[in-house]
Structure 1
Amino acid sequence: MYIRDLFAQHDRDTLRGFIRSWPLATLVCAQGSQPDVHLFPLHLVPGAQGEPDRLRGHCPLGHPFLDSARQAPEVLALFQGPNAYISPRWYVNGQRSRSVAPGWNYVAAQARGPIAVIHDVSFLRGHLEALVLQQESGRAQPWSLEDAAPDFLDAALQRLVGFEIEVRSLQGHWFLSQQRTAADRTSVATHLLLENNGVARELAPWVVAPALEDAVDG
């Protein structure tokens, strides 16, 4: 991604939290002149002090991604969060001059690093437990791997393989009308909350000026 300084997100904990909330990644491997692209949910494992973070995933044995992963010197994982079209009519300023144009607001992050395919049942089971826990922990009746029939789970583990990406670069692109006035951003957030699209409504708290975030969240 091309990221201008105004829209760059550098805080590592913020980026980690974003990936946990939006774990479905577009994984891109270079295959000669042709990129190989696949979608996988990934679980982020924070690195200890001075150590890199790691992204862990899984796929079926025989998946074409595995051949690309073994050959690629590094992979790119792109995470996309809430996004929405922004109408020029939502801007308070610029209406008289008509110096406004449509736009698109979004939140995204990208991670780069080498990938290793891991044929280890204990690694795979630990990864699946962590990924399920991340998604189920907030539910009234969370599901876990222990709720699956042992024979079914054992058979499933034999059909899957794990992989791990060492995160050597992590960047965020928070494109949220930062170039606009606080009044414009508040107006954009207000209109997003009125949209039929649930993802657009979810974007509203990200766009609003920081001083007014609590009002929008409420």
Structure 2
Amino acid sequence: MYVPRAFAVDDVPILHQQMLATPLPVLVTHASQGLIASHVPLLLNPDEGPYGTLYGHLARANPHCKALAEGVENLVIFAGEQAYISPSFYPSKAEHGKAVPTWNYLAVHAYGTAEVFDDAERLLALVSRLSNKHEADRSDPWSVSDAPADYIDSMLKAIVGFRLPITRLDGKRKLSQNRDATDQAGVRKGLLANSNPQDHALAHLMAKE
């Protein structure tokens, strides 16, 4: 990912916040059969290793399992808020017209090689933690133990887990830091005038920077 210094984020806890806020990142592997990508929910253990460790699982029938087992480097993309930035948002455009469209966005790229596993006990712990995470805000949360044990056992046989220690993190927060304060205010105003909730979220992030 191209990251100009003005947009770079090096603070690991801030990068972890973005990763935790991205429910469905993209796992990309360049294996012997070429590039392969899967959209997969992941767990992050921020205290395991210098940059944290990711855990997830894939369907056993997914060829991505074989790709992970090859021991090649993987890229996991955590995309955050994003919005189109119109040149008309910049007050400076009225003065000199020197403005072009761009895009503001947040993104984190995590790299590392993976260890795959299919031990039933380890898989059960993983899927239980994933379910608990995503059910936590529900008034009547579902848990793995709600399903019949023999059914869960059969489901576990159909998946493969993986552990991915992160060896490198790239973070980017492109929030008009390269514009002056007047243009930044114009961007926030322009985004808040739109109806898209993502535009509003990005405007509020800009105000906090």
Question: TM-score, normalised to structure 2's length?
Answer: 0.90
Q: 2:38 matched to which residue of 1?
A: 38
**Residue-by-residue CA offset, 1:133-167 (whole Å, 9 max, x unaligned):** 32232333333223334333222222111111110
Task: Write the distance in 2 (CA, Å) between the matches of 1:150 and 1:134.
Answer: 20
Give the count of matched residue pairs.
209
Q: CA deviation at 1:16?
A: 0.8
Task: Write the distance in 2 (CA, Å) between the matches of 1:67 and 1:46.
Answer: 26
Q: CA deviation at 1:186?
A: 2.6
% identical equivalent positions:
32
Q: CA deviation at 1:95?
A: 2.1
Q: CA deviation at 1:33?
A: 8.3
Q: 2:191 matched to which residue of 1?
A: 192
Q: 2:98 matched to which residue of 1?
A: 99
Q: 2:143 matched to which residue of 1?
A: 144
1:29 aligns with 2:26: no
Task: Write the distance in 2 (CA, Å) between the matches of 1:98 and 1:52.
Answer: 43
Q: 1:180 matched to which residue of 2?
A: 179
Whether contact under 8 Å (1:188, 1:207) holds in the other structure is no
Query: Which AA in structure 1 matches 2:61?
Result: G
Q: CA deviation at 1:52?
A: 4.6
Change in CA separation of 1:99 and 1:119 when aligned onto 2, cut-off 3 Å: same
Q: 1:8 matched to which residue of 2?
A: 8
Whether contact under 8 Å (1:185, 1:209) holds in the other structure is no
Q: 1:132 matched to which residue of 2?
A: 131
Task: Write the distance in 2 (CA, Å) between the matches of 1:155 and 1:19.
Answer: 31
Query: Which AA in structure 1 matches 2:56?
Result: G
SS at match of 1:2: coil
Q: CA deviation at 1:54?
A: 0.7
Query: Which AA in structure 2 matches 1:123?
Result: R
**Residue-by-residue CA offset, 1:50-73 (whole Å, 9 max, x unaligned):** 655111111111211011111242
Query: Which AA in structure 1 matches 2:8?
Result: A
Change in CA separation of 1:45 and 1:92 when aligned onto 2, cut-off 3 Å: same
Query: Which AA in structure 1 matches 2:88?
Result: R
Task: Write the distance in 2 (CA, Å) between the matches of 1:59 and 1:126.
Answer: 15
Whether contact under 8 Å (1:113, 1:166) holds in the other structure is yes
Q: CA deviation at 1:45?
A: 0.9
Query: Which AA in structure 1 matches 2:155?
Result: A
Q: 1:84 matched to which residue of 2?
A: 83
Whether contact under 8 Å (2:51, 2:169) holds in the other structure is no
Aligned alpha-carbon RMSD (Å): 2.0
SS at match of 2:72: coil
Q: CA deviation at 1:179?
A: 0.6
Question: TM-score, normalised to structure 1's length?
Answer: 0.87
Task: Write the distance in 2 (CA, Å) between the matches of 1:191 and 1:40.
Answer: 34
Task: Write the distance in 2 (CA, Å) between the matches of 1:33 and 1:121.
Answer: 28
Query: Which AA in structure 2 matches 1:44?
Result: L
Query: Which AA in structure 2 matches 1:46?
Result: P
Task: Write the distance in 1 (CA, Å) between the matches of 2:147 and 2:199.
Answer: 36
